[in-house]
Chain A
Amino acid sequence: QKEVEQDPGPLSVPEGAIVSLNCTYSNSAFQYFMWYRQYSRKGPELLMYTYSSGNKEDGRFTAQVDKSSKYISLFIRDSQPSDSATYLCAMTLGGATNKLIFGTGTLLAVQP
């Protein structure tokens, strides 16, 4: 079993839809949770960063962490064609070293 599980998709939605992306994980010691966006042939770009449980909102993006269920989500409101990309969740224990564990990514296509 992988430490981090993510549905690879692809997920296709119409423009303006609300998108929900999810990851589950097995290590309850993870403290820091991130979402990265990766456009084709580009490096991952940090989108959202959350410490421990709770919600964080940034514009059209909302990240949720439920540590009791070992489940994290990214919501995208009013999705745009420019949101079409692969979304990777990542998490780490924090502390003295920083070894990010990534999900395999979900490919999102927003249709105009």
Chain B
Amino acid sequence: DSGVTQTPKHLITATGQRVTLRCSPRSGDLSVYWYQQSLDQGLQFLIQYYNGEERAKGNILERFSAQQFPDLHSELNLSSLELGDSALYFCASSSGPANEKLFFGSGTQLSVL
């Protein structure tokens, strides 16, 4: 068990809808990262937050947004969902702003029908 908690484990929704994925980092970790994993693209970095502030941005679509709250948990909001958004979404955490050792949660499997 990595200590990173993601909910829900599975999410099934329809095109055009909006969903929220939640992540609680390991105790003491200040950084949260979001990754998308699909069969054809592999693990793609979306965004990083450190202690409540956005730290780095990857290939995150404008329809997606994230935030990190004062208690350090993070939420990833996905809106106007498309079929192609179906993927595994992982949250990871690390202790510092640029710590290369990431600890991943078990992921949220999103299916857009």
Grouping DSSP codes into helix (H, G, I), strand (E, B) and loop, the A interface class, with mixed when no group exceeds half, is loop
Contacting residue for B43 out of A32, A44, A92, A98, CB 8 A? A44
- Interface stretch of the complex, out of A11-19, A68-76, A102-110: A102-110
> Which B residue's beta carbon lies closest to that of A4?
B42
> Which B residue's beta carbon lies closest to that of A90?
B43
Contact, CB under 8 Å: B99 / A98? yes
In the assembled complex, which residues on chain A have CB atoms less than 8 Å from the CB atom of B4?
A: 43
Query: What CA separation (Å) do A90 and B106 show in the bound complex?
Result: 18
On chain B, which size bracket covers the interface?
A: 20 to 34
Interface residue count on the A side (C-beta < 8 Å): 25
In the assembled complex, which residues on chain B have CB atoms less than 8 Å from the CB atom of A95?
A: 98
In the assembled complex, which residues on chain A have CB atoms less than 8 Å from the CB atom of B99?
A: 98
Query: What CA separation (Å) do A15 and B43 show in the bound complex?
Result: 29
Instruction: Check: B31 CB closer than 8 A to any chain A CB.
Output: yes
Contact, CB under 8 Å: A98 / B94? yes
Query: What CA separation (Å) do A94 and B103 show in the bound complex?
Result: 17
Instruction: Check: B48 CB closer than 8 A to any chain A CB.
Output: yes
> Which A residue's beta carbon lies closest to that of B40?
A104
Contact, CB under 8 Å: A97 / B101? no
In the assembled complex, which residues on chain B have CB atoms less than 8 Å from the CB atom of A41?
A: 106-107, 109
Instruction: Check: A100 CB closer than 8 A to any chain B CB.
Output: yes
Subset of 12 A-B contacts with CB under 8 Å: A42-B106, A42-B107, A43-B92, A44-B90, A46-B102, A95-B98, A96-B98, A99-B45, A100-B33, A102-B44, A103-B42, A105-B43
Q: A residues engaging B (CB < 8 A)?
A: 32, 34, 36, 41-46, 49, 88, 90, 92, 94-105
